[in-house]
Structure 1
Amino acid sequence: MPLDLDALPDPVDVSDNRDELRRVDEVVARGPYSADWESLQGYQPPRWYEDAKFGIFLHWGVYSVPAYGSEWYPRTAYTEGSREFEHHVSTYGPHRDFGYKDFIPDFHMSGFDPDAWAELFRVAGAQFVVPVAEHHDGFAMYDSARSRWTAARMGPQRDVYGDLAAATQRAGMVVGASSHRAEHWFFLNPGTRFDSDVLDPRVHDFYGPAQREETAPNEAFLQDWLLRTVEIIDRYRPQVLWFDWWIEQPAFEPYLRRLAAYYYNRAAEWGVEVVIQYKWEAFAPGSAVRDIERGAKPRIQPEVWQNDTSVSRNSWSWHPNQDYKDLPEVVAELADVVSKNGALLLNFCPKADGTFDEREVELARGLGRWLGAYGQAIYGTRPWIVAEEGPTRVAEGSFVDGTPIAYTEHDIRFTRRVDHMGEQVYAILLRRPESGVARVRSWGTDLGLLTDAIAGVEVLGHPEPPRWRRTADALEVEIGPAHADLPGVAVRIQLAPRAVQRRHDYIHEGTMAPTPA
């Protein structure tokens, strides 16, 4: 059913931003942070985030209605020659008669239960949840005073983001928000190249600016970007702000400094600790947390970082032909990231009706079972002397999760914890050993990585102490039958008390231990 343009709310006038911008600058002026990189580089990521390790990302919006291709449908459906373009015309008719806006009435989310969602995320073991507040398409999932094109006024006609944020907090998790608003500058511009509804002046405030990617965003767009982000901060107080890649355009740079100072200063006023996550080089090193899309690192990083990836290899939003990852693959991603001083932000893909594909529900529950057994090796840990051992390497960089990696029982990731019990080191085997014996080469006597006496050995999730022996080549630990249905296994060693006093001078070297023969 096409959108009834005559029944739309009145457009919002955002032409005069002087008072709002003045208020932003007043907060910046109060400090403690000022809008310059030297000041912002005094930021330290909060302990809660460094301990959390695992969060859930959520992509759902109007693009979930056509559920074809990906969340880039509002762009690709207007790109002549694309399969999305041909699908749109053959399914819905010419773009001038039925465009992207006309999916809004069917974005009803009639099955959306925010408390049930939050409970699923809690069961999965997530410590923070980052829903998309606004994607590239320009449809706000929150109640915005700066736009009529919001879920609160159209489609489901409810503050979808706000309802989920409140449920997330009730379930004891940290609330975040992602903003992809920057990309809206150019996102709908393919629709300006032929006869489509993108050229209809009645919906310009939704589809516009629809400018060329080659052009820098103008002052009006940048001010609106800043004030929409400030609106999310003040209305919902998220403790995570995630930004997509296009904010690295030079025109955004002064606005990023202004926004970061505002956010950090507001957090200081509220007495909470917050995180900004960015890609590439948009922020100065140390001023926020760097995020790598579908990414990996080859070694331990000196500063905490994040890998954002999805349960699906081919989309961030739901469609019927998802190429889903399985539980062992997701567990391996989590263990690899954490061993290298990172956190995993794992995306799930709700349907337009507010429900999840059962495969995603089962994956979430599987993650929860795995973390219930082995989470001590993940939550609250820090890197050990080395991150890993074994024959299998992960590719460095972004977009490296296209093909599943065949890990072996010799592929291990290490983490470390110091608490009131002393020092513990964990070995996470990415595949359960068929022999029933875990062999950890890095803990053998010959390598010299583990110079302290072992006070005890435990297989996490197993009630009885295992049989074990330490040789020159390896620490060998018998793995019991518990949790045999879960991928891999985690072994914990308790070091003798004197190890607590020792400082790991090589903690950021990231050396690979020798590959087992």
Structure 2
Amino acid sequence: MKRRTLLKAAIGTIPALYLPGFLKADDFLYPSSSAGEIMQQGPFKPTWDSLSQFQVPDWFRDAKFGIWAHWGPQCQPEHGDWYARKMYLEGSETYKFHVQKYGHPSKFGFKDVINEWKADKWEPEALLELYKNAGAEYFFALANHHDNFDLYPNKYQPWNSTKFGPKKDLIGGWAKAAKNQGLKFGVSVHASHAWTWFESAQFVDKTGPFAGMPYDGNITKEDGAGKWWEGMDPQELYAQRHGLSTNENTTYSNIKIWEWQKGVSIPSKAYCDKFYNRTISLINKYEPDLVYFDDTVLPLWPISDAGLKIAAHLYNKSIKKHGKQNAVLFGKILDVQQRKCMVWDIERGQSNEIEPLPWQTDTCIGDWHYDRRIYDRNGYKSAKAVIQTLVDVVSKNGNLLLNIPLRGDGSIDEQEQAILQEITKWMAVNKSSIFGTRPWEILGEGPALENAQPLKAQGFNEGKGKPFTSADIRFATKEDMIYATVLGEINSEKVFIKTLALNSRHYSGKVKKVTLPGDTNAINFAHNAEGLIIDVPERLKGSYAAVFQIV
């Protein structure tokens, strides 16, 4: 019996079987269909060996900082992340909010939330100008989330923003604004997970007046007679005409649904093909410079080769357009080989060392989707925290992608504007210490390094270590310059950098001059066997992330 037949037989008896190391290029349960979108041919083939030709383009290595609009219909309630899933979890805080605001999810489901979303204050040109001023070199827009709703027109997903909600091509608007600001443009794609992520829409209340009444996750086109969505099939959105994963029998919201492992319902071939076609059409229409997948490794891996084909398509299409491979693809939880094929993305966390290959951390100043409660309690990350993270990440050969949550209407609030304005002021003086730099011999020194926290799953070690102090210093280099950034607030007369001691293990030279970015005036210093001791200019006292240029 052939291996593929064996695999299909195994999956026929177990809802899902994750077999790392077993699947070969021709062993996928669902090879992508040749019908629909055609993969761009070129030097990259949809195999790991071929994709390992990938080289991170210099523009991305130079860019260091991007801003993300993680914005879609789940922002409309302004009640935080994963709204479309959590609203169906009986007894959860989000469920209670939804019932009070909109009604019971058997009567008012997520499709109806989409219908409420109008994005009437969305001004992409003004937002992209704000982000460019804050130092961003690239911009990401959410193309779809786990809610399966596309923010661009395409023939493969009728549930999209040109037909429902805003009735606009949101990705098109973002792409035009990014181009006008001279920013590289990226799209984030999350929709491969809707099959399992939306399973909560199949639940029913176990208690109360609606006990036993199904939520709207299983409704069909026939149920729409006389309703606002008449003629549309909600299953094109929910994708829930299937059995529940065996670990989905409770309303527990953090079940293991990310990898296709034992107990997780396997999506159909039609579902996999639809995802492939939607994503290829997105790349063809907008030609993004960057594509982010919120997936373990690649979408639908390892049951489908869709992710491998999308990666090869993106790279080959970039070669056709630019004459060289100029695009960047991101994946999570990558092994050593896979990190050669794309850029490793770490969610809400950082590596603890200088990585041999460029990588990226993605994080947010609040929740991924806009949450009014965070605004009300002044709970956003400070500009100080963002800048410190950026400097720390850059010292380790990484980039920072920062989400600034948008309200449902497409605007940002005044607290977010203040954070961006403070980042803008810091960047106006210090951007030369970020953009175009490379890691130095070591990433830095100080007590925070001694308490670095390990990564967990796709990241999530952010904020787990000691707060930065003036003893925490990070290095970067450009040409013959060393940038030493003091992360914490400076409240002393001198800065002491022991790593740069005369004839130290990492530094054998003699410091000739110390200046500040944008200032040619020399700063007094002493350089001896103990370290480099720099006199602190009066204007830097009390400041954080102060940068010293050392030659």
TM-score normalised by structure 1 residue count: 0.86
RMSD: 1.9
Q: Is 1:266 aligned to 2:266, yes or no?
A: no
Relative distance call for 1:248 and 1:148 in structure 2 (3 A) is closer
CA contact (8 A) 2:492 2:541 kept: no
* The one of 214, 220, 242 aligned to 2:270: 220
Which amino acid in 2 is paired with 1:163?
G
Which amino acid in 1 is paired with 2:240?
P
State the shift of 1:71 in Å: 2.5
Runs of 4 or more above 6 Å deviation: none
Q: Which residue of 1 aligns with 2:207?
A: none
Q: Is 1:458 aligned to 2:515, yes or no?
A: yes
Q: Which residue of 1 aligns with 2:454?
A: 396
Q: Distance in 2 between matches of 1:404 and 1:57?
A: 25
Q: Distance in 2 between matches of 1:243 and 1:382?
A: 26
Q: Is 1:429 aligned to 2:483, yes or no?
A: no
CA contact (8 A) 2:218 2:241 kept: no
Which amino acid in 2 is paired with 1:256?
G
State the shift of 1:91 in Å: 2.6
* The one of 388, 412, 433 aligned to 1:377: 433
Q: Which residue of 2 aligns with 1:166?
A: 176
C-alpha offsets along residues 3-45 of structure 1, whole Å, 9 cap, x if unaligned? Answer: xxxxxxxxxxxxx965424x22xx23xx111122111101101
Which amino acid in 2 is paired with 1:254?
D
Q: Is 1:205 aligned to 2:258, yes or no?
A: no
Q: Is 1:337 aligned to 2:393, yes or no?
A: yes
Which secondary structure state, in structure 1, belongs to the residue aligned with residue 62 of structure 2?
Answer: helix
Q: Which residue of 2 aligns with 1:302?
A: 356
Which secondary structure state, in structure 2, belongs to the residue aligned with residue 130 of structure 1?
Answer: strand
Q: Which residue of 1 aligns with 2:424?
A: 368
CA contact (8 A) 1:185 1:210 kept: no
Q: Distance in 1 between matches of 2:394 and 2:150?
A: 32
Which amino acid in 1 is paired with 2:239?
G
Which secondary structure state, in structure 2, belongs to the residue aligned with residue 188 of structure 1?
Answer: helix
* The one of 197, 219, 232 aligned to 1:187: 197
More displaced stretch, 44-53 vs 203-212: 203-212
Q: Is 1:289 aligned to 2:343, yes or no?
A: yes
Q: Which residue of 1 aligns with 2:18?
A: none
CA contact (8 A) 1:297 1:395 kept: no
Q: Distance in 2 between matches of 1:302 and 1:444?
A: 26
Q: Which residue of 2 aligns with 1:73?
A: 83
Q: Which residue of 2 aligns with 1:277?
A: 330
CA contact (8 A) 1:216 1:249 kept: no
Which amino acid in 2 is paired with 1:374?
N
State the shift of 1:90 in Å: 2.7
CA contact (8 A) 2:192 2:299 kept: no
* The one of 43, 47, 58 aligned to 1:32: 43
- Taking only the aligned residue pairs, the percentage that are identical comes to 29
* The one of 119, 122, 127 aligned to 2:129: 119
Relative distance call for 1:490 and 1:402 in structure 2 (3 A) is closer
Q: Distance in 1 between matches of 2:543 and 2:191?
A: 39
Relative distance call for 1:163 and 1:404 in structure 2 (3 A) is farther
Unaligned runs of 5+ in 1: 1-15, 495-517
Q: Distance in 2 between matches of 1:141 and 1:361?
A: 25
Q: Which residue of 2 aligns with 1:139?
A: 149
Q: Distance in 1 between matches of 2:241 and 2:441?
A: 50
Q: Distance in 1 between matches of 2:174 and 2:288?
A: 12
More displaced stretch, 135-144 vs 277-286: 277-286
Q: Which residue of 2 aligns with 1:443?
A: 500
Relative distance call for 1:145 and 1:468 in structure 2 (3 A) is same
Relative distance call for 1:163 and 1:295 in structure 2 (3 A) is same
Which secondary structure state, in structure 2, belongs to the residue aligned with residue 414 of structure 1?
Answer: strand
State the shift of 1:391 in Å: 1.0
Relative distance call for 1:238 and 1:208 in structure 2 (3 A) is same
Q: Distance in 2 between matches of 1:439 and 1:197?
A: 63
Q: Is 1:20 aligned to 2:36, yes or no?
A: yes
Q: Distance in 1 between matches of 2:400 and 2:466?
A: 17
Q: Distance in 2 between matches of 1:317 and 1:375?
A: 28
CA contact (8 A) 1:239 1:275 kept: yes
State the shift of 1:444 in Å: 1.2
Unaligned runs of 5+ in 2: 1-31, 205-213, 222-233, 246-256, 258-263
Which amino acid in 2 is paired with 1:360?
E
Q: Which residue of 2 aligns with 1:321?
A: 373
Which secondary structure state, in structure 2, belongs to the residue aligned with residue 215 of structure 1?
Answer: coil
CA contact (8 A) 1:67 1:318 kept: yes
Which amino acid in 2 is paired with 1:353?
D
Which amino acid in 2 is paired with 1:160?
L
Q: Which residue of 2 aligns with 1:414?
A: 475
Q: Distance in 2 between matches of 1:251 and 1:217?
A: 12
State the shift of 1:106 in Å: 2.5
